[in-house]
């Protein structure tokens, strides 16, 4: 039995805050001691006196001294977090859950399908995979957002593309006149037509808003990806992080403890997985 | 071993400076109702009869307590008069809160510091239905090493037969021996105990004679969309009484009470029956309809806990039936599902 208090919080200094889009900010944090985690695991990030919420770090798990967390202003806690400035103090609990089983991706074509703020955990995965790029046959990145202004991490695309074996595709739902946009237009699944990997043995990782994950998964199945090779980052109300509070249950599973990464095969028969 | 009731009282009187003692007392308002209260040598306690109003869980998993830092007290406690349905409830909580991956700090402190003296039921309430769950209204004391109690007492006339269920129980028995005169169990005592068991078992069976004894909980999964859910939930006001009163519910919310200097967290009970329970920022919820929320408690108790702990989350105490302002009877819900 572990003797550490599971509610223990690590103090973290806010080193920088970047505005990624009108609704999304990235926070650069320095925990008081190195923080180890596996890509895909999540943390509970707290603002003293306000509350906490679950987020997946958006930087590589090879970086343990400092970490980036990308957060959309979507509710009570995130609204308060968006007011945080450089020099403020936050708290970190975790890491929690199971990450991506990178060993199973070894030597395979890997497709990352992300939408909106779902790009945040995928960035963590991508940065980690780029660190060991030779371990994968190829990495295809398909990112979508509502408008060009909502597409985060645009300044990093060139860095990613410069890595051998990495291909980057992007699309926005809507593009207004005068927007600077060189990618496609349409929902993220339109990018799948341009993907040139053989789906039979390929791995797909999907993260984004529920509706995008639903249709993304269905499209991948149509293209020939196997349900056991489609990994979904299920973001539910992961309140405690260790399977105690029961807010995040997906049928008999806990999103926090058994996930947040599930294969579609694992949860396809559970109810309301897309809500 | 056998101890007389007057000797047991003498024991409690003697050790009350060393232990915090909790025993069931009749409430002033309703004579039939029993509640755990701190031992009072002036008042007459009731070890036997039936379950208390509140589950014993409320002494181990408080409605609200600080978990960072943990606030549980380490004083040794004796909790006496615990019924089998509550012992089974603690077994579920032990699996959930004290396992290889997770130890809930307060629960561990409360659990470690407590000595549990259970007691056979000698009577039953109209909501009692342990028999429908294949449980008995008295603890199973045949299984060696698997007993859920430290000591169990079986009332026999004005005496109690004491059974030891654990190391802690042995320890406590030694203390009892220092104060009380214990006698060996006679065949006559055993016969009376057997007769008491048979009598109370019959009583609970008779109370539940309208319900199918042979129950299959896969009917919940098989009839997920059945109109039964919608019909029963029409009366539900989503107050959460059924979960707050349950011996196995442990859903929680955390409140952050940190200052700049120190991180502090307070854990409070939550209920899957309350509006907004599983709702995430942006408004998404996996249980959009009221009947789905209503159904979740049944899925959790009979399917999910079985999957996670290989134990049913319902021990048959019937407290959720007593507490429901809409008089929803979960026995009837399961019965209706079996008859779909």
CA distance A164 to chain B (A): 38
Question: Contact B103/A46, CB-based, under 8 Å?
Answer: no
- Residue whose C-alpha is closest to residue A113's, from A31, A195, A204, A179: A204
Query: What is the arithmetic mean of pLDDT over B274-298?
Result: 87
Asked if B270 reaches chain A (Cβ–Cβ under 8 Å), the answer is: yes
Kindly state whether residues A108 and A214 are assigned to the same domain. yes
Percent over 90 (pLDDT), chain A: 72
What is the per-residue pLDDT for B143?
A: 54
* Listed range (A96-110, A241-255, B172-186) with the worst mean pLDDT: A241-255
What gap in Å lies between CA A181 and CA A147, rounded to an integer?
Answer: 9
Q: Which residues of B touch A47 (CB under 8 A)?
A: 256
What is the per-residue pLDDT for B145?
A: 59
What gap in Å lies between CA A26 and CA B110, rounded to an integer?
Answer: 42
Query: What is the arithmetic mean of pLDDT over B274-292?
Result: 84
Q: Which residues of A touch B97 (CB under 8 A)?
A: 244
Q: Which residues of A touch B92 (CB under 8 A)?
A: none
Kindly state whether residues A56 and A114 are assigned to the same domain. no
**What's the gap between Cα A220 and its chain centre?**
18
Size of interface A-B (CB pairs under 8 A): 119
What is the per-residue pLDDT for A230?
A: 96
Question: Contact A252/B97, CB-based, under 8 Å?
Answer: no
Nearest CA in chain B to A75: B281
Reply yes or no on whether the pLDDT at B264 is more than 60. yes
- Residues 109..168 of B with a Cβ closer than 8 Å to A: which? none
Nearest CA in chain A to B262: A48
Question: Contact B254/A7, CB-based, under 8 Å?
Answer: yes
Q: Which residues of B touch A247 (CB under 8 A)?
A: 251, 270, 277-278
B144-158 residue pLDDT tens: 557 899 999 999 999
Kindly state whether residues A196 and A115 are assigned to the same domain. yes
Q: Are A226 and A259 a contacting pair, CB within 8 Å?
A: no
Cis peptide, bond prior to residue B147, ω within 30 of zero = no
Reply yes or no on whether the pLDDT at A228 is more than 70. yes
Nearest to B256 among A1, A11, A48 (CB): A48
Query: CATH code at A167?
Result: 3.40.50.80
Mutate to test the interface with A, among B66, B99, B102 (most CBs of A within 10 A): B102
- Residue whose C-alpha is closest to residue A168's, from A150, A180, A154: A154
Q: Which residues of B touch A116 (CB under 8 A)?
A: none
Q: Are B222 and B339 a contacting pair, CB within 8 Å?
A: no
What is the per-residue pLDDT for B211?
A: 92
What gap in Å lies between CA B113 and CA B99, rounded to an integer?
Answer: 18
Q: Are A232 and A206 a contacting pair, CB within 8 Å?
A: yes
Burial B150-188 (b: 16+ CB within 10 A, else e): bbbbbbbeebbbbbbbbebbeebbebbeeebeeeebeee
Q: Which residues of B touch A117 (CB under 8 A)?
A: none
What is the per-residue pLDDT for B213?
A: 76
Does residue A244 lie in a domain region? no
Does residue A229 lie in a domain region? yes
Reply yes or no on whether the pLDDT at A80 is more than 90. yes
Q: Which residues of B touch A275 (CB under 8 A)?
A: 284-286, 288
Question: Contact A7/B68, CB-based, under 8 Å?
Answer: yes
Asked if B195 reaches chain A (Cβ–Cβ under 8 Å), the answer is: no
Does residue A75 lie in a domain region? yes
**What's the gap between Cα A50 and its chain centre?**
24
Query: What is the arithmetic mean of pLDDT over B4-32?
Result: 93
Question: Contact B101/A2, CB-based, under 8 Å?
Answer: yes
Asked if B69 reaches chain A (Cβ–Cβ under 8 Å), the answer is: yes
**Domain housing A159:** 102-233
CA distance B132 to chain A (A): 23
- Residues 277..296 of B with a Cβ closer than 8 Å to A: which? 277-282, 284-288, 292
Mutate to test the interface with B, among A2, A10, A14, A48 (most CBs of B within 10 A): A48
Q: How confident is the model at residue B216 (pLDDT cuts 50, 70, 90)?
A: confident
Tokens of A90: 């936050």
Q: Are B98 and B111 a contacting pair, CB within 8 Å?
A: yes
What gap in Å lies between CA B242 and CA A63, rounded to an integer?
Answer: 47
Domain boundary among A43, A78, A94: A94
Percent over 70 (pLDDT), chain A: 100
Does residue A146 lie in a domain region? yes
Nearest to A75 among B67, B258, B282 (CB): B282
| Complex ipTM more than 0.85, yes or no | no
Query: What is the arithmetic mean of pLDDT over A220-232?
Result: 95
Nearest to B259 among A48, A236, A273 (CB): A48
Burial A179-192 (b: 16+ CB within 10 A, else e): eebebbeebbbbbb
Does residue A190 lie in a domain region? yes
Domain boundary among A28, A62, A94: A94
Kindly state whether residues A90 and A14 are assigned to the same domain. yes
Q: Which residues of A touch B98 (CB under 8 A)?
A: 1
**In the beta sheet, which residues pair with residue B151?**
B117, B164
Q: Which residues of B touch A14 (CB under 8 A)?
A: none
Tokens of A224: 């020939």
Asked if B259 reaches chain A (Cβ–Cβ under 8 Å), the answer is: yes
Question: Contact A53/B277, CB-based, under 8 Å?
Answer: no
CA distance A131 to chain B (A): 30
Residue B242 belongs to what H/E stretch? Answer: helix B241-244
B132-144 residue pLDDT tens: 999 999 998 655 5
Q: Are A170 and A156 a contacting pair, CB within 8 Å?
A: no
What is the per-residue pLDDT for A112?
A: 95
Q: Which residues of B touch A54 (CB under 8 A)?
A: none
Kindly state whether residues A110 and A76 are assigned to the same domain. no
What is the per-residue pLDDT for B142?
A: 57
For B283, phi then psi, to 5°, come to: 100, -5
What is the per-residue pLDDT for A250?
A: 83
Does residue A260 lie in a domain region? no
Nearest CA in chain A to B66: A7
For B38, phi then psi, to 5°, come to: -60, 140
| Total number of domains in chain A | 2
What gap in Å lies between CA B89 and CA A237, rounded to an integer?
Answer: 26
What is the per-residue pLDDT for A238?
A: 86
What gap in Å lies between CA A224 and CA B131, rounded to an integer?
Answer: 51
Asked if B272 reaches chain A (Cβ–Cβ under 8 Å), the answer is: yes
Kindly state whether residues A68 and A138 are assigned to the same domain. no
Kindly state whether residues A77 and A60 are assigned to the same domain. yes
Burial of B191 (0-12, 13-18, 19+ CB in 10 A): exposed
CA distance A18 to chain B (A): 22
A126-156 residue pLDDT tens: 999 999 999 999 999 999 999 999 999 999 9
Mean pLDDT in chain B?
93
- Residues 219..238 of B with a Cβ closer than 8 Å to A: which? 224
Nearest CA in chain B to A78: B281
A99-113 residue pLDDT tens: 999 999 999 999 999
Question: Contact A48/B272, CB-based, under 8 Å?
Answer: no
Cα separation values, A125 from A114, A151, B291, Å: 12, 18, 39
Does residue A261 lie in a domain region? no
Residue in the block written with tokens 């349900």: A227
Q: How confident is the model at residue B184 (pLDDT cuts 50, 70, 90)?
A: very high
What gap in Å lies between CA A246 and CA A256, rounded to an integer?
Answer: 9
What is the per-residue pLDDT for A235?
A: 80
What residue segments make up the domains of chain B, in order of their start?
Answer: 2-207, 218-338
Tokens of A3: 């003797």
Query: What is the arithmetic mean of pLDDT over A39-50?
Result: 93
B185-204 residue pLDDT tens: 999 999 999 999 999 999 99
What is the per-residue DSSP string for B244-309?
HT-SS---EEEEE---SS---EEEEE--TTSTTTT--TTS--S--SHHHHHHHHHHIIIIIHHHHH
CA distance A239 to chain B (A): 7
Kindly state whether residues A144 and A187 are assigned to the same domain. yes
Domain boundary among A66, A94, A122: A94
What is the per-residue pLDDT for B144?
A: 56
């Amino acid at each position: 039995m572990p003797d550490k208090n599971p509610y223990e919080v690590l103090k973290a200094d806010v080193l920088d805050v970047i505005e990624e889009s009108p609704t999304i900010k990235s926070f650069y944090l320095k925990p008081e001691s190195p923080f180890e985690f596996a890509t895909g695991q999540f943390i509970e990030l707290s603002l003293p006196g306000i509350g906490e919420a679950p987020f997946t770090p958006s930087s590589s798990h090879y970086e343990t001294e400092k970490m980036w967390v990308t957060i959309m202003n979507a509710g009570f806690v995130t609204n308060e977090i968006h007011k945080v400035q450089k020099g403020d103090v936050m708290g970190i609990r975790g890491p929690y859950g199971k990450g991506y089983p990178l060993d199973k991706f070894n030597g395979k074509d890997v497709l990352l399908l992300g939408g909106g703020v779902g790009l945040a955990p995928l960035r963590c995965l991508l940065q980690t995979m780029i660190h060991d790029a030779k371990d994968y046959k190829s990495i295809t990145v398909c990112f979508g957002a509502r408008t060009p202004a909502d597409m985060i991490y645009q300044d990093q695309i060139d860095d990613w593309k410069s890595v051998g074996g990495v291909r980057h595709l992007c699309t926005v739902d809507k593009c207004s006149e005068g927007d600077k946009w060189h990618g496609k237009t349409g929902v993220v699944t339109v990018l799948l037509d341009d993907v040139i990997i053989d789906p039979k043995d390929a791995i797909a990782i999907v993260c984004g808003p529920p509706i995008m994950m639903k249709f993304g998964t269905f499209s991948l199945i149509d293209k020939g990806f196997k349900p056991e090779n489609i990994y979904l980052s299920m973001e539910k109300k992961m309140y405690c992080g260790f399977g105690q509070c029961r807010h995040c249950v997906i049928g008999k599973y806990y999103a926090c403890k058994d996930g947040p990464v599930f294969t579609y095969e694992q949860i396809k028969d559970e109810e309301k997985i897309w809500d | 071993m056998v101890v007389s009731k007057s000797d047991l009282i003498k024991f409690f009187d003697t050790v009350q400076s060393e232990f915090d003692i909790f025993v069931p007392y009749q409430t002033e308002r309703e004579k039939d109702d029993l509640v755990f209260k701190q031992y009072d040598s002036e008042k007459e306690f009731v070890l036997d009869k039936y379950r208390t109003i509140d589950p014993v869980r409320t002494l181990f998993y408080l409605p609200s307590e600080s978990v960072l830092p943990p606030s549980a007290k380490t004083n040794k406690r004796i909790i006496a008069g615990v019924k089998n349905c509550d012992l089974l409830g603690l077994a579920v909580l032990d699996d959930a809160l004290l396992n290889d991956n997770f130890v809930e700090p307060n629960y561990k402190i409360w659990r470690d510091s407590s000595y549990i003296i259970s007691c056979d039921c000698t009577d039953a309430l109209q909501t009692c239905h342990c028999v429908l769950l294949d449980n008995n209204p008295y603890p199973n004391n045949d299984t060696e090493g698997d007993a859920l109690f430290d000591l169990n007492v079986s009332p026999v006339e004005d005496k109690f037969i004491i059974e030891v269920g654990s190391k802690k129980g042995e320890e406590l028995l030694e203390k009892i021996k220092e104060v009380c005169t214990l006698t060996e169990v006679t065949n006559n005592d055993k016969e009376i105990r057997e007769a008491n068991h048979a009598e109370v078992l019959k009583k609970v069976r008779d109370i539940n004679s309208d319900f199918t004894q042979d129950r299959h909980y896969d009917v919940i999964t098989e009839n997920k969309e059945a109109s039964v859910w919608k019909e029963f939930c029409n009366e539900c006001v989503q107050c959460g009484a059924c979960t707050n009163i349950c011996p196995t519910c442990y859903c929680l919310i955390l409140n952050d009470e940190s200052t700049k200097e120190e991180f502090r967290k307070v854990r409070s009970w939550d209920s899957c029956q309350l509006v907004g329970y599983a709702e995430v920022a942006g408004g998404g919820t996996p249980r959009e309809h009221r009947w789905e929320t209503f159904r979740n408690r049944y899925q959790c108790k009979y399917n999910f806990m079985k999957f996670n702990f290989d134990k049913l989350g319902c021990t048959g105490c019937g407290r959720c039936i007593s507490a429901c302002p809409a008089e929803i009877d979960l026995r009837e819900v399961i019965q209706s599902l079996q008859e779909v």
